[in-house]
Amino acid sequence: QVQLVESGGGLVQAGGSLRLSCAASGSFFRFSVMGWYRQGPGKQRELVARFLIGGNLEYADSVKGRFTISRDTTKNSIYLQMNSLKPEDTGVYYCNAYSIPRDYWGQGTQVTVSS
């Protein structure tokens, strides 16, 4: 089974930065899609950023210009550099990857941004 492990979450003040990492392990052929989602308090899980097939990028409007997703294909890892953090960015951040025939999710890492 594929496992995704996130790291890098924590507590920061508004305007601060964090860098999240996600490493994939286990038996899989390749990931077609890999990205980050988050779920804030009392909110639905939403897309933050992801790589699509062909290397195209997709960002949520709320994080454009502040967050940057990157990847290291040799390590089957992705990263999320988060700058200018806002309290509304608070939530559990999940790594997501798709490898035929299904999606895989990490356990999540907590990001808390104080005002």
Tens digits of per-residue pLDDT, 28-73?
A: 667 778 999 999 999 999 999 999 888 899 999 999 999 999 998 8
**Measuring CA to CA, how many Å separate 61 from each of 40, 49, 58, 85, 112?**
16, 10, 9, 14, 20
According to the model, what pLDDT value does residue 70 have?
95
CA distance 47 to 60: 6
69-92 residue pLDDT tens: 999 888 889 999 999 999 999 999
Residue 45 is encoded by which pair of tokens?
């899980």
Q: Which residues are CB-neighbours of 19 under 8 A, at least 6 positions away? A: 8, 79, 80, 81, 82
- Of 42, 35, 22, 36, nearest to 88 by C-alpha is 42
Angle (CA) 86-88-92 rounded to 5° is 105
According to the model, what pLDDT value does residue 29 have?
64
